[in-house]
Structures are given as C-alpha cells and as structure tokens.
A and B are shown apart, each in its own frame.
Chain A
Amino acid sequence: MSKYWKIYKICFANSVSYFTQYRKDFWFNLFINLLWIGIIALMIEIIFGQTSALGGWNKGEVYLLTMLWVVSNELFVMFFGGNLFDLSDMVAEGVIDFYLLKPVNSLFLVSTKYILFRAFYRLLGEIAILVYVFIHFNFIVSGSNIFLGVLLFIAGLIAQYAIILSLNTLSFWHMRIGNINDAIGAVAVIGRYPLNIFSRTIKFIVLTILPVTFFAYVPAAAVLDRWPWYGIVYVLIFSLVLFVSAVLFWEFALKKYSSASS
C-alpha cells in the first residue's frame, strides 16, 4: 500500500511541475470557466422566467442540482480526466505498453498518472458558488441528509469512474474512439435536470444502463429529502457492482490486447 502511496505522491509532484510550466493561460481558462457557469445560470433563469417549478423542483433546488453536477464533473476531470480520457490514444499508439511493463497494477498507474491541477482552482470557485447557492436559497437540511448526500456523491464518483473506464476499455477493440468521452459527457447532461421531466424509458436508462443520474441528481435529491431509502441502498450497491465489473472488464481486455507498438 505504501508503495502505491509513494507512486501517487510522485505523480502528484509531476502534475504540479507540469502545471507550473504551462500556467500562462491559467487566468484566461478560469475566466472562461466562469462564463460557462454563467451560461448554465442563464439557462436556469430563462426556464424559471416561464415557470415556477421544473419537474416539481423550484429554482433554488435546480441551482443546487446544477452546481453539484458541475462540482462532480470537475472532481472527476481533475483526478481521472487527464488519464482515462487518453486511454484510446494510448492504446492506438502503443504507449500503454510502458504502463503494462511496470511492476505495479496497470489500472492504478493508468488511472492516476496525471492530476489536472488546473481544475483544482476551478473546483474551488465552483464549491464557493455551491456554498453561495446553499446560503442564498436558505436551504434547511438535516445533518443525516447531508451525510447521505456526501455518501451518494462519492458513490456517484465511483460510478462515473466505472462507466468511463468501461467505455474507454472498448478502445482495445475499436481504435480511435477517444470521442466516446464527449459522448458520455453529453449524455451526463441529462443528470443536470430533474428526472421527472423525462419519459419513463429515459428514466429507466439513466438509472440502470447508463446511470448518469448517480453523479449529481441522486445526491441532490438525497440532500433535499426527495430520494427514498431503498433508492439509496440501490445506488450504493449498483455503484459497487459497476466498479467491480469495470475492473474485471479491464483485466479481460488486457488479456486480449496485442501491442500496437514495435
């Protein structure tokens, strides 16, 4: 275990070093990120300019859901985005061989080799906005709901990791499918809206086959006391199942892998 901790610390130091070398456009990127959040806010304002509730959720609740979605997305991008999103190219170019030859768990190395430090500052800003939303809309929630929300948020991150790992593992069979990450990113947007606005088929898909609602919708619903206890058990167990399946699928893919490099 200590060996992996040491490796992670080295990867962390490397990421900091990389960030300090390429920090010229840091403020510019931060500014654009704020603009992007502004557009999401504009969309919410447009919606609530026409109605007082969307799928039974009021404006404050939708803001909370949206900001949780943004934070969840940013956390994933920070820790795993720079790694898993590159898997397709690594397989196509044979770069992955370097990781497979190291005397450590290849999945650990492939998943943690780079931490996107630039996202850390964006994340701080987004958490600040989330706290502001919480205070501004006067949410009164119990400690147990907060605890459940945090627990489900972590389960959501695990589910997100499992889904993206599984989809990127497909690149062992289909070359150059890096854009599958754009696809899952686009699908994940469904989890930014109250589930009640969608049809039953879509609800079923985003709760089972592609559970993008786990990333933010479920934690937000739990915090707001809108998610039943059996739903909590289901999400926790299903996230674990997804994770184990993704790891097994990765190991299966490695067995079938024939190197692309010389």
Chain B
Amino acid sequence: MMMSMIVKLLIYVHLWREGNKFDPLKQWVFCCKYDKILGAMKYWQMYKTFLQKHLAYRFRVGIWVFVDVIKFFCLPFVWLAIYQGRTEINGYTQTGMITYYLIMIFISLVTTSHISRIIRTDIMNGDLNNMVVKPMNYCLYRFTHETSYKLLSGFMALLIFFVAFYFLPQYVVMPANFVRLVFFVVALVFSLLLSFAFQFIVGMVAFWWGENSGAERLEEVLELAFSGAIAPLVFYPKLLQAVANFLPFKFLSYFPAQVYLGQIDYLGYWQGLAQVALWLSFFYVIVWQMWKRGIKKYEGFGL
C-alpha cells in the first residue's frame, strides 16, 4: 500500500515537472522506469506474502530450525572427547573447533537452500503452469520464497548464537574485528547464492527425469563430504583435501567459517571471493540454459 502510494506520488511529480506535455519518447522512457519500480514491488509483495505463509506454519518452520541445529549437535561432543588435555589440533583450538560447528549451524540456517523439492513439485504437479503465464521471473520468485524463509531462520540462528555465547562463553569466539565480520557476511551472501544455484539446478532435473530424488541425494552427499560440514577440511586425508579444494562446495561452509575464525589472510580472502564469483557465473549460466531447454520440454501436466 505504502509503496503503491509512493509510486503514484512519483508519477504526479513527474507529470508536474514535465508540465503535462505529451512527448511519446519521454513517456515511453518513463513507463519503462515505472515498470521497473512495479517489477521490484511485486517481488517485495511476494516476499511479504511468503513471510506470512511461513509464519502461519511456524510449527513446521520451528521443526526445520531444530533439524538444522540438531544435525551438528553430536560433533562438538565428539571433538570435546578427542581434545581432552590437548590445546590445539591442526591449527584448531578446542574453542575454535566448537565455534566452527556453531558457524556450521549458523550457515545451515542462514544460507543453505532447500528449494529443489519445491521446484520438483512445481514441475511434476504442473503448478509451474500458474507461474510461467504470469509476468514474473520464476527463479526470482523462488529466490524470494527462499530468502523470506531465511529471514526467519536467520533470526533464530542469531538467537542461538548469542545464547551459546552468553551461556558457554568458554566455547565461543567472536570475529577478531569488525572487518572480519563484514567479510564473513559477504562470504555468507556468496554461500547463499551458490547453495540456491545448486538447488535450482537439482530441482530442474525434474524437467527431464520427472523424479529428482537421486540428483537431490547426490548433491546432498557431495555437499556433506566436501563443504566441511562434518569436519574442517584440514583433517581430511590429503587426496580428499585436494579434491575438496578443487570443487566449489567448500564455499558453502568451510570458506565462510575460515573467514570468521581468521584462518585465512586478506589475499586468500579476495582469491576465494574471486573463485566463488567465477563458480557462481558458471552455475547461473547452467541455470539459465537448463531453464531455457527445460521449459521447452515441459508438458504442463496437472492443468
């Protein structure tokens, strides 16, 4: 409502400044600008609608948050049992290691996308029909969906992190300085975009296979193995470390965790960002190509 009034006000101001003279070229240019504003507005409206929907099913959202937390729950205990009396293993102090898993929980709640199942359902049930006939970008539509959920789970993540910091200060370290924190947030944004790209690609597999649970599980397994979710990559055997460093999965979790814990210098950080930016460009080209080909193949069952 508020946004709509602002747009109307802009039109009046514009017409007043133009003296209400009819100029087709200027009118056209103005309409384009107006369309862009309206375009941005519709995604904002969607964002709010999705947020309301998530809040309506808050019990379900709460369970998902619980799952994301509990899946990392055992590992700090495992490492506490291993450390007993040792101050440092492979460059990780006991506190650093526990914080590492807290960051894994944080990343899981803030950036890990789970959109592939929804995309598969859209394709398999024919729900995509409703979306492709509307003047909107499906990828942005689902991105809006995902980020609206992430706003809620992100809030929970912050709460969990601060509760852990308050009650267990001996196990939690904060970033060394404000710049580190900003770098970490930037790394998280890249992690979110990368995770979303993976999930979008896996979801679109349903255009060809109908069912994508195999692809979904493969992505899940690769991510689990090479993102650093089970343990920091420095603990892996050398060969697996080399494979993990070659693949893009480490940018989902390991890279942001390293940035947070200050285990990467500024040069390494910028190199990492450049690498993930390249991976992102590559995967979004794949997204675009798969969408173009997939939508041609799509038969729209469920009409």
Judging by beta carbons under 8 Å apart, are A42 and B217 in contact? Answer: no
Task: Say which residue of B64, B70, B77, B224 sits within 8 Å of A198 (CB atoms).
Answer: B77
Separation in Å of the A212 CB from the closest CB of chain B?
11
With A51-B82, A174-B59, A183-B63 known, 20 other A-B pairs at CB within 8 A are A25-B211, A28-B214, A28-B218, A35-B218, A38-B225, A39-B225, A42-B236, A43-B230, A47-B78, A50-B89, A51-B81, A179-B60, A179-B63, A183-B67, A186-B66, A186-B70, A193-B74, A193-B78, A197-B77, A197-B80
| Contact mask for chain B residues 172-212; partner A; CB cutoff 8 A; 1 contact, 0 none | 00000000000000000000000000000000000001010
State the Cβ distance, B245 to closest chain A Cβ, in Å. Answer: 16
**Is the Cβ of A193 less than 8 Å from the Cβ of B77?**
yes
Considering the chains assembled together, what is the distance between the CA atoms of A42 and B235 in angstroms? 10
Number of A-B contacts (CB under 8 A): 89
- B70 → chain A, closest Cβ, in Å? 4
A251 beta carbon closer than 8 Å to chain B:
no
Q: Is A67 an interface residue (CB 8 A)?
A: no
Instruction: Check if B230 sits within 8 Å of A32, measured CB to CB.
Output: no
Residue of B nearest to A185 (CB): B67
- B221–A32 CB distance below 8 A: yes
Between B74, B218, B224, the greatest number of chain A beta carbons within 10 A of the residue's beta carbon is seen for B74
Within 8 A of B (CB), among A160-194: 174, 176-177, 179-180, 182-183, 186-187, 189-190, 192-193
A-B contact pairs, 7 of them (CB 8 A): A42-B240, A45-B237, A176-B57, A177-B63, A179-B60, A189-B73, A197-B80
The total of chain B residues at the interface (CB under 8 A) is: 32
Distance in angstroms between the alpha carbons of A187 and B74 in the assembled complex: 9
Tell me the dominant secondary structure on chain B's binding face: helix
Complex formed: what's the CA distance from A180 to B57 in Å? Answer: 13
With a cutoff of 8 Å between Cβ atoms, the chain B residues found around residue A186 in the complex are 66-67, 70-71, 73
Do A46 and B231 contact each other (CB < 8 Å), given the known contacts A32-B214, A179-B67, A182-B63?
yes
> Are B78 and A197 closer than 8 Å at their CB atoms?
yes
Residues of B within 8 A of A38 (CB): 225
Residues of A within 8 A of B213 (CB): 25, 29
Q: How large is the interface on A (under 10, 10 to 19, 20 to 34, 35 or more residues)?
A: 35 or more
A204 part of interface (Cβ distance < 8 Å): no
Q: Which one, B67, B82, B240, contacts A50 given CB within 8 A?
A: B82
Residue among A49, A183, A190 making CB contact with B74, cutoff 8 Å: A190
> Is the CB–CB distance between B221 and A36 below 8 Å?
yes
Say yes or no: B81 contacts A55, CB within 8 Å.
Answer: yes
A43 vs B60: C-alpha distance when bound (angstroms): 30
Q: Does residue A133 face the partner (Cβ distance < 8 Å to B)?
A: no
Cβ proximity bits B138-165 to A, threshold 8 Å, 1 near / 0 not: 0000000000000000000000000000
**Given A176-B60, A183-B63, A198-B77, are A43 and B214 also a contact pair (CB < 8 Å)?**
no
